[in-house]
Amino acid sequence: MTSPLQQKVKVNGPVVVTANRVGDGAVVYRRADGAWTTDLAEARVATDATTAGALIAAAVADDLRAVGPYIAPVQVARDGALEPGNLREIIRRLGPSIALPQSAGN
């Protein structure tokens, strides 16, 4: 398996770096200041391979706080709002596309 650091980073549009938080597995996005946030709106967007490469390299090194970082596409709306760039990222952000079983007694 090639490490993300060795893979040639290719960028075809705006991307963010996303991962799962170590303690609870929550979906997080990398911010410009190196912190991780659960809010996609705060994510650092990269539009070229160099910036994306640096972002992912820093994320990979940040093993203590986040697991399995990778580069994910985003869409930027006209008002600048960030939306997930594919179905997998939509599901990661919003949760399963189906209703979860309801239990009375929860």
Partner 1 sequence: MYRYDDFDKILVDERVAEFRDQVARRLSGELTEDEFKQLRLMNGVYLQLHAYMLRIAIPYGTLSSAQLRMLAQVARRYDRGYGHFTTRQNIQFNWIKLSELPDAMADLASVGMHGMQTSGNCVRNITTDQWAGVAPDEIEDPRIWAELIRQHVTLHPEFSFMPRKFKIAVGASRHDRAALRVHDLALRLHHNPHGEVGFEVMVGGGLGRTPFIAKTIKPFLLKRDVLSYVEAILRVYNSFGRRDNIYKARIKILVHELGVEAFSKEVEAEWRAIKDGALAVDDAAIADIAGRFSYPRYERLDDTPRALEAARDADRRFDAWMDNSVANHKEPGYAIVTLSLKPEGGPPGDATAAQMDAIADLADRYSFGEIRVGHEQNLVLPHVAQRDLPALFRALDSIGVATPNVGLVSDIIACPGLDYCSLANARAIPVAQEITRRFGNLDLARGLGRLHINISGCINACGHHHVGHIGILGVEKNGEEFYQITLGGKADEDAKLGGLIGPAVPYEEVADVVEDVVAAYLELRARPDELFIDTVQRTGLEPFKERVYATR
- In the complex, the residues that contact partner 1 under the rule CB under 8 A are 20, 22-27, 63-64, 67-68, 86-88, 91-92, 95-98, 100-106
Task: Decide whether 22 or 51 has the Cβ nearer to partner 1.
Answer: 22
In the bound complex, what is the minimum distance in angstroms from residue 15's beta carbon to partner 1? Answer: 15
In the bound complex, what is the minimum distance in angstroms from residue 87's beta carbon to partner 1? Answer: 7
Task: Decide whether 79 or 96 has the Cβ nearer to partner 1.
Answer: 96
Query: Kind of pairing, strands 66-76 and 36-37?
Result: unpaired
In the chain, DSSP assigns E strands to 15-21, 27-30, 36-37, 66-76, 82-84
CA pair distance 40, 50, nearest whole angstrom: 21
In the bound complex, what is the minimum distance in angstroms from residue 21's beta carbon to partner 1? Answer: 9
Contacts of 13 (CB under 8 A, 6+ apart): 47, 73, 75, 85
Cα Rg of the chain (Å, integer): 15
Task: Decide whether 55 or 59 has the Cβ nearer to partner 1.
Answer: 59
In the bound complex, what is the minimum distance in angstroms from residue 50's beta carbon to partner 1? Answer: 25
Task: Decide whether 10 or 88 has the Cβ nearer to partner 1.
Answer: 88
Look at residues 43, 54, 62, 44 and name the one whose alpha carbon lies nearest to residue 9: 54
